Amino acid sequence: MHFRTARPSAPASEGAHSRPDAAGLGAELAAVVAGARRRAVRDGDRHVDTAHLLHSLLEQDPEARSVVGGPPQLARLLGYLVQRSIGYGLRWQGSVEDSGALPVLPRPATGEAGDWSPAAAAALTHARERARRRGEHGATGPDLLAALVADPACRAVEVLEHAGVHTRELAARIAADVGECVQDASC
């Protein structure tokens, strides 16, 4: 009998980040984070990246799905994410996603399995901050989606744009849904 074992995590010197904990996440978003972690492990990836977060978010959060676009656009995006999980993302395997666009905070200490890319950890931190600015205790799916599209160099944005989703327009739709201003709009 053969047992599958997870690949060893990258050492800290390679920029590996431990997992953000569930504090500051709404129940739905905590499930999204858990789903992204499972997806990364199942795909054999060393790190949970922003594309894993996006895939899990779209699978589990109807509010995030609705803001992305109509059924044809959503189907195209999910199809692209499935292609990524079955081989498209092989060029990303073994590398750490760190776009440098969002500041990375110190590594949070948790006991969960799997490492997070710097961009994914920063997106979750950004989502929490976005919720706090609104006076909410837990970040939501749209908070995470807004955080993902705020980093133009992350893998989630690359996936969105390859699927034909205009991320600047998406950011504006998310902001409009909660009455926020976006950088390009005058408020």
DSSP 36-71: HHHHHHHHT-SEE-HHHHHHHHHHH-HHHHHHH--H
126 domain-assigned: yes
Q: What is the CATH number of the domain that holds 121?
A: 1.10.1780.10
Q: Which two tokens stand for residue 7?
A: 């690949």
11 domain-assigned: no
Residue 132's domain spans which residues? Answer: 19-178
* For range 134-160, the mean pLDDT: 94
> Can you give the pLDDT at residue 109?
34
Q: The pTM is what?
A: 0.74
Per residue in 12-33, pLDDT tens?
333 334 445 567 788 889 999 9
> Can you give the pLDDT at residue 24?
77
36: closest CA among 20, 18, 21, 55? 55
> Can you give the pLDDT at residue 97?
54
